[in-house]
């Protein structure tokens, strides 16, 4: 936190790495979508995989396009483990015989 604030001293408030606090329900803020370098919908993919609802819908949402950078997890104000659930969903689909693009 102090390091980031030093880099961006012209900001009116301190930069926050958002790593404190507990996990909360998704607020559909869209930060994960904005941070995603491959333009998938991390919060939708995570919602499916968190509920063990792993099927063709995940492929339409682009789960196999995910490069597992975890930027979505980092920017999430609700502390959702988006990257972890996406990775689990990919593994589950591969175990069911779905091929990675």
What are 80-101's pLDDT values in tens digits? 999 999 998 899 889 988 877 6
For residue 17, give Cα distances in angstroms to 5, 24, 67: 10, 17, 21
Pick from 68, 71, 63, 70: nearest CA to 101? 63
Q: Is the pTM of this model over 0.75?
A: no
Where do we find the tokens 């880099």? 7
For the segment 17-34, what is each residue's pLDDT rounded down to a tens digit? Answer: 555 678 889 999 999 999
Residue bearing tokens 């979508």: 33
Q: Please name each of the domains of the chain with its CATH number.
A: 21-95 (1.10.1060.10)
Cα Rg of the chain (Å, integer): 15
């Amino acid at each position: 936190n102090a390091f980031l604030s030093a880099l961006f001293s012209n900001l009116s408030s301190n930069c926050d790495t958002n790593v404190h606090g507990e996990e909360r329900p998704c607020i559909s803020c869209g930060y994960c979508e904005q941070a995603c370098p491959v333009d998938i919908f991390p919060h939708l993919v995570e919602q499916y995989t968190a509920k063990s609802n792993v099927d063709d819908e995940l492929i339409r949402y682009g789960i196999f396009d995910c490069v597992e950078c975890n930027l979505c997890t980092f920017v999430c104000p609700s502390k959702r483990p988006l990257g972890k659930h996406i990775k689990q969903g990919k593994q589950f689909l591969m175990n069911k015989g779905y091929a990675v693009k």
